[in-house]
Amino acid sequence: MQIVKNLAGGILICLGMVMLIVPGQGLLTLFLGLVIMDFPGKNKVIRCLIRVKTIQNSLNWIRRKKDGRFLCFRFSGTANPETLSYLRKIASIFLKKQESGHQA
């Protein structure tokens, strides 16, 4: 499972880099790829990236479409626990869709 998560994260990171050049949600895709992957220092990288206004806007856009609530971002050096749990939830939903797509 660990290999599948890291492979899916790597694919998302590669797609995100492509989307930085072509139209698409490049930063958000890169961010989700990092959230899915497991590597040392991951939380520090996520905390740094969550400060990017474009990523915040994209996450709030997703939330607005789903349930209308916005995420609150704190900048005291730690990410909001609600934000981190939501990001983990998005990553797990993505992985479930990937696994069900490969089993079909």
Sequence ranges of the domains in the chain: 2-103
Give the integer Cα–Cα distance in Å for 10 and 4: 10
pLDDT, residue 49, reads 78
Model confidence over 65-94: pLDDT tens digits? 777 777 776 655 555 667 677 777 777 777
pLDDT of amino acid 104:
46
Is residue 56 within 8 Å of 63, Cβ to Cβ?
Answer: no
Compute the distance between CA of residue 83 and CA of residue 88 in angstroms, rounded to an integer: 9
Is 98's pLDDT higher than 70?
no
> Mean pLDDT across the stretch 4-8?
91
Report how far residue 68's alpha carbon sits from residue 65's, in angstroms, rounded to the nearest whole number: 6
Task: Read off the pLDDT of residues 10-69 as tens digits, 9 standing for 90 and up.
Answer: 999 999 899 888 887 787 888 889 889 988 888 888 878 777 787 788 778 877 877 777
